Amino acid sequence: MMRENASMTDRGYAVVTGASSGIGAASVRALVNEGFQVIAAARRVDMLAELANEHPLITAWELDVTDQASVDALAAHLSDKTVNVLVANAGGAFDGTTVADADVDSWIKSYDVNVIGALRSIKALIPALIKSGEGTIVLMGSTAGRIVYESGGSYTAAKHAVAALAETLRLELAGEPVRVVELAPGMVKTDEFAVKRFGGDKERAAKIYEGVAEPLTAEDVAEAVRWSVMLPHHFNIDLMVIRPLAQAAQHKVVRKL
């Protein structure tokens, strides 16, 4: 545990970006149940308000990780608080096209949200995480950041960059009291991820999971977040790859149609 005798009020603060739904919202719930005061940060304040109503230790905070001023405002709010955890979860896939048919703006958006957004959040909170004496940064990567696949270039390239960010940061923070964890989920079924990727086409999104008995859920990934954070602080999870049992590899998925 972070402190074996920690009470429900002295865990300090945990910040979760992209917290309005899916893995982010599930991670907020998992961490607040461990006694953290959780800043649930995202753009969609209506959804954050509903999440914050679930527990008095959840604070909704409007955050756009692509806007430096927005990130700076969060850092300023936390400047006098003990920040132990940052879950850099904000991200997403925004197209499903080949490189030949690529929309350059979609690639730029993918980098800005997944990579630069994580960079902004981490850079802003590193001083507070170091000051806490027991900081943990969790970057939400993907198996797409390890192995590429057709029609996923903008997302796989961005998640490869997230992996590089995690590895570089771990080297640069060596000797500081801050762990750097990269989580790399495989097939996760949430309400929005694939739908956003295919521009709202729910039928096309559903085919991604067609015949797969039990893809991972947001709660499954949130459990990996919780476990990584709650380990004794000398114990660092450099990289955790998690997949559903039906997915043996990126290209090997058992479908029972």
Residues assigned a catalytic role: 155
* Residue 163 contacts residue 146 (beta carbons within 8 Å): yes
The CA-atom distances, in angstroms, between 32 and each of 27, 102, 143 are: 8, 40, 27
* Residue 167 contacts residue 145 (beta carbons within 8 Å): no
Residue 16 has which token pair? 């979760």
Could you tell me how many helices (H) and strands (E) the chain has, helices first? 9, 9
The CA-atom distances, in angstroms, between 235 and each of 2, 146, 178 are: 10, 23, 11
Q: What is the C-alpha separation between 202 and 195, in angstroms, rounded?
A: 5
